[in-house]
Every structure is written in C-alpha cells, then in structure tokens.
Amino acid sequence: MSNHNNYLPTLTIRVLWFKDPEQDKDKDKDSNKTTEENSDPVDKLAESIYSAFCRSIEHPLDRGMGIPVFFHRTPPGLDVLNQSRHTILVVLVDDRMVINPEWNEGLVTLAQAVQASNQQHRIYPVSLTANAFNLNPAITTTNFIRLHRYTKSRQAEQSAQLTLTLTHELCRLLLAGQDTSSRQPTIEPISSRLSPTPVKLFLSHAKADGEELAETLRDHIETTSAVQIFFDTNDIAPGFDFRTEIKGNIERSVLVVLLTDHYASRTWCRREVLWAKQNNCPLVVVHAVRDREERSFPYLGNTPVIRIAVQDFDANPQQNNWCAQVVVLALNEMLRSCWFRAHLNDLKQISLIPDHLEPCPSPPEMLTVMAKQTNNKAATDIHLIYPDPPLGMEERQLLTQAAPNVHFTTPTSCAGLSGKIENEALLEGLNIGISISNSPNLEELGMNKAHLDNAMIEIARHLLSQDAHLSYGGDLRPGGFTEQLLELVWTYDNQQEEQQKSWQVEKDETASRRLTNFVAWPNNLNYLPTVLAQHHLKSVFKFIEPPSDLNLDTPQQKTFVEPDTPEHRYWWFRSLTAMRERMATEIKARIILGGQIRGYSGGIPGLLEEMLLAIRQKQPVFLLGGMGGCARVIIDAIEGRHPHELSVEYQSKNEGYAEFLSYVDEYTETRIDYPAMVDELQQAGIAGLNNGLTEDENRLLFMTPYVPVMVALVLKGLAVCKNLKGA
C-alpha cells in the first residue's frame, strides 16, 4: 500500500561548509577568470561528494549511486535529522568556519542532537586545516576525518581520501542495520554506542603465484585503512570447521579475486567464487595474469575488473599503487550492494516497485538464475530485481531459456506497473511536456543545478521506459537540458533498435521520435546546418515561425536580435508565446519543475505561461515544487496565496522590464495582467490540475525534494489520466 506521506529514505548525506559572503562579489569582479579559477576549493570538495554518492556532476547521464546528497552553506536546523532514517552530516571545517560564532553554535546543537539519536544519525567533521580542531570542544570530541595534511596541489588526493573514508563509513552504517544472514535492511535503528564493525575484504588467491600480491595488498590495507581482511587459514581459529568458516567469512565480505595464471585451476579458489555468486555477495576481480590461463573460470564474469601492471610489481614488489585502487573498487561494490537493498525498501514504501520482487544486487547470470530454478521446489515463478541498466536482449533470451520460471527486471523497467514486472508500455504514445529550467532557490533548499539535472534525467528516463513521447522548449546550449534530453533519448532509441533486431521484427519508424524540441524564433537562427544534419533523421526540432501580428519582413525574420530593446523584447515575448501555444496543442500532460522568476527573455516567466496554457486546456499538470523556482510560486497561487513574485512591482526589478511594459501598453494590444493570472491560478486550485492524484498526493508533490517520490507520483497520476481518457 502506498505510503508517500510518511516516506523516509534510508539515508541522506548533508554536506556542511562555510559560505564566503564575498565570494559571489569576487566572481563578478573577476568575470574574465574561468569557472575553475573562481571556484572555492571547498565548494569543489563538496561537489565531489555529490558526484561520488549521487550522480556525476561532469557526466550527469552516467548512472550514479543515487544516494540523496544535500548542501548547506549556512548551519541547518534540526529538522534535517527528521527527513531520513539515517542522516549523515559531513562538516568541511576550514579556518573560516572555526572563527564563525554562528557555525560553532549551530554545530554544537547538531552534534548534541546526533548524540541523542542513539547512533541513528552520524556527524563526520573533516579537518581541512590544522586549526580545525579549535572548534567548540563539543565538536572536537568527535574523531575527525583528517585531510589537513593535503596541500592545495593535492586536492584530487584529498577528495579521493574523503570519498574512500565516507564510503567505508556508509558501508559500516548500512551493514550494521542489516540482517547479517540475509543482508536485508532491518527496521530498528542502530543502538550501539561503539563503532560498527569495519568492512571485511576476503582476499581470494592461489598460493602458487598469488600469495605475494595478496600479502602486499594485505599489508597496504593494514597500514592505511580501517578495513578488515580475511587472508588465509591463519585467520580461522583452531577447532572450527574449515569449510564453514571460509563460507561464512565470504558471506560477510567483499570477495577480492586476485586472478593469476593458476587461480582458476585451484579447487578452493573456484569454490570461493561460486559461494560468493550464489549468495549475492559483492565480488571484484584484480586481473594479474602474467602469461596465460590454461582455462579461464567462466563464473568470474559479470563483475567489476581492475587490471594491474603485474610485470611492474614483479620488478619491484614494494610498488603498491594499485592497492588503493583495489580497496576503492571493493568498498564501492559493498556500498552499491548495501544501498541497492535499502533503496528497494524505500521504493516499496511509495509503491514505485512491486512488493514481491527479490533483490539481486548484481545483474543476473546463468549461475544465479539456474540456482534459483533448482532451489524452487514449488515450481512457482521467481521475480528478481537487479540494478539498472537492463541487460541486453541477447542475454535476457538466454537466461529465459535456461530458467523459464525466473523473471527479472530493473527499478526503472518496472516502475509504476502495479504489481507486475513486465514492461507494459504504461504510457505508450502519450506526449508529455517537460517544463524545467534553473531555479533561483536551489541554494537555500540545499541544492544546486546538479540536483535539478538529476530530477530531470530520472523523470525523463522513467517516462521513456514506459514509451512516452517528450516535448520540450529550449535551445541547444552546451550542457543544457535539451542536450541532456537528446543524449538520453538516443540511448533509449538504441536499446529499442537492438530489441527490434533481436526479435527480427519490422522496424518501427516512429521509435526514434521520442522527443520533440520546440524552438522559437529567433533562436532557430543559431542552429547551424551541422547540428540540423546531425539530428535530421530523428525529427527532433520543430522550428516555430514568428507570429504574423509582428509584421516582420523577410530580412528581419532572417536576422537574429537580442531582447535588448523594448521592441525586440516584445518580438521575443510574442515568439515564445507562439511556440508555447503550439506545444500546448500537441501534448497531453505537462510536468513543471524549477523555473526562473527573473532574468527571462520573454514577457512573463516561461513556466508560468506554460502552466496557464495547460489549465486553460484542462490538461493534467504535475507541479514539482521541492526545488523552488517558478513552480513553487505557481503552487503558492494555486493554494490561494498572492505571491509577491507575480506582481508588476516585483517583475519591474528585471532590467528593462518597466520600459518593456510601457512599450507593450502604448504600442500593442497585448496586456500583461499579473493580478488576473494569479486569480486564474487561484480559481483553478488543486482540482484544476486534473492530474489523477488526490489532494494529499498533490501537496506532497508540491514539497518533496526526493526524486523517487516525484517519479512515483507522476507515474501514478499519468496512468490514472491515461486510463480515464483512453489516451
């Protein structure tokens, strides 16, 4: 049963650091400097945490870990501890924070609350300077993550060390909250005051040619890390069964396979791999074959692999740079496994995935599905769920033939399918308008543009997986939303084309048309032939001519103009309106997120105009207000308030806006009436959203910062609307 209102994710990370109030001013003064030169090193360190645990900022389309990460550059209130089962506070302490009274006071309050939580929450102070330990003593009694020894020239190492330490601590936290026999998350919070047990790495190696490598890795771990190791029979206490101890240690560890020439020929090495695979234990392979293998072990596939220069090691056994990479890879796999299980429980809270699915932290393979089939005495269907992305069609066909009673899916593939796991193309053919742009409120909400990118990508990914068509109005700027949507659609189309080839069906010529990008004049003049040719077969761009009431002659229509005069701004205003009106006639629903309230090029905020067009046509609208911006302002009006942002007084603070309004009143028949717009939104109210959600569900959508909740509610509402209208 859906429980959206009580949704608490298992884990959130909140990064706290000092905001320099002069920094933005300095950026303005040094406008000729690059972003890299202007960036505060502490800002970059904070962003590296987001990239490591949520989604890569530099490569937002890459699938990240997905753990929610929020930013706080002023001391947050205690309410942040009530927004997840486990809240991790990572405090980046520099000299500026040490001497700031507000931060000292705020951190003491937070530290006391964390201590009172009985280890449900954690605070990790991080020393960036030697003076970090001069914070209030209530903080310095907590053991620091010590990074102050790293110089500015070693920022990459500093970031890597912080990520490694946090990864280990998150593993320890999640493992302490899991049933050790099944690795399933438990409901009760962690109550021990002592540090949780460190992660254990099981070093699986052949003594014939892998022992020296294993010893080097063991020595590195023992001298540089809190990670535990299981090395060989010397780690088994006298009197205990050898086989039981080996198997039991594997089930509680990450199996690190040191793959050397003789590894696959050793019986116990093969057994260790099979035990790990059959019990869904994390496993990584260190490829260290010197010459060749007589026969490679087939069940070592389907795992992360790192290759080391073993010849360099043979020449200099003291060379151990590879060891740190192995530890990072192993801890990442443990965290992925733990987080995947915990996150599935979170998704079940909000009915985003069916309850009966059995977690499979690694993609299924012949060994695992055959084991499930063999152990299935009742001959009933078994339903597995594994991490995205989905397996290729050729793998799925092979696994289905081998184990027809074992079915498998991914969180994205089965989202919103009401208890079933086969992809039913829930939204097939439904054209959905995406309204999204940067929000001015992100920082105060603990976010930045990366959070907005993450929300847009996940929403679009789920819509595409259900065969929806997306429509968006925006220009093709580098790193912009249009570019990201295009790349996402390309990925989806390639998967669809592969599936059609695998099944040898006639190619669906509309399969590549999953996105329409509406482009208003004069932005269309900036699209070079190279860009148009690149996307020609995709039928992506739909250029909208300037409206006839502008009376622009042919030379004017072929000349790009900036909105730098009242008249030119009016041209932009009318052209953008024409583009949005055209889009409104083609879509069946609209999703609104973020949005500028100032600094736009048209006559009114773009998302506001798209909202008004949608409710006038009684289209389903989903207002996602958790990231602020124009969406939040619209929600204020929908709920009966009179937002100051929707007033001439507020909007006239835009440069040149007052002159623009005077031009509109004097020379055109158009009227920009903010009171009338607010009244229209108030009259519509929540009922006027027509989105298939209850009032309580809409109010949750208005405020949640959690992307899975946004996705779940949008999919639920769209499914209801599609069923009601037969769209």
Q: Helix, strand or coil for residue 612?
A: helix
Report the Cα 47 to chain-centroid distance in Å.
Answer: 13
Instruction: Give which of 704, 71, 145, 692 is closest to 430, Cα–Cα.
Output: 692
pLDDT for res 31: 39
**Amino acid (one-letter) located at 328:** V
Q: Compute φ and ψ for 384, nearest 5 degrees.
A: -105, 150
Query: Quick one: CA dihedral 233, 237, 241, 246, positive or negative?
Result: negative
Cross-strand bridge partners of residue 591: 434, 622
Q: Taking 80 as the threshold, does the pLDDT of residue 461 lie above it?
A: yes
**How confident is the model over 559-601, as pLDDT tens digits?**
999 999 999 999 999 999 999 999 999 999 999 999 999 999 9
Asked if 222 and 235 count as a contact pair (C-beta separation under 8 A), the reply is no
**CA distances for 267 relative to 190, 204, 246, angstroms:** 39, 12, 13
Instruction: Report the C-alpha gap between 265 and 263 in whole angstroms.
Output: 5
* Residue whose token pair is 């109550």: 191
Q: Look at residue 234 and tell me whether its pLDDT is greater than 90.
A: no
Residue ranges per structural domain of the chain: 4-149, 200-337, 357-366+381-414, 431-493+514-725
Per-residue confidence band for 531, with pLDDT thresholds at 50, 70 and 90: confident
One fold for 4-149 and 200-337:
yes
Angle between helices 566-586 and 657-667 (to 10 degrees): 80
Which residues, in sequence order, are CB contacts of 443 under 8 Å at separation 6+? 71, 73
Other C-beta atoms lying within 10 Å of the C-beta of residue 655: 11
User: Other CB atoms closer than 10 Å to residue 112's CB: what's the count?
Assistant: 12
Name the DSSP letter for residue 539: T
CB 440 within 8 A of CB 582: no
pLDDT of residue 495: 65
Q: What is the pTM of this model?
A: 0.89
**Integer angstrom CA distances of residue 305 from 282, 284, 593:** 12, 6, 39
Compare 36 and 517 and report the one with higher pLDDT: 517
726 pLDDT band, cuts 50/70/90, is: low
Instruction: Give φ, ψ of 297 to 5 degrees.
Output: -80, 120
Q: Which fold has domain 200-337?
A: Rossmann fold (3.40.50)
Average pLDDT, the chain: 87
E strand residue ranges, 509-558: 515-520, 541-544
Class of domain 4-149: alpha beta
Q: Give the C-alpha separation, 251 to 254, whole Å.
A: 8
Three-class SS of residue 371?
helix
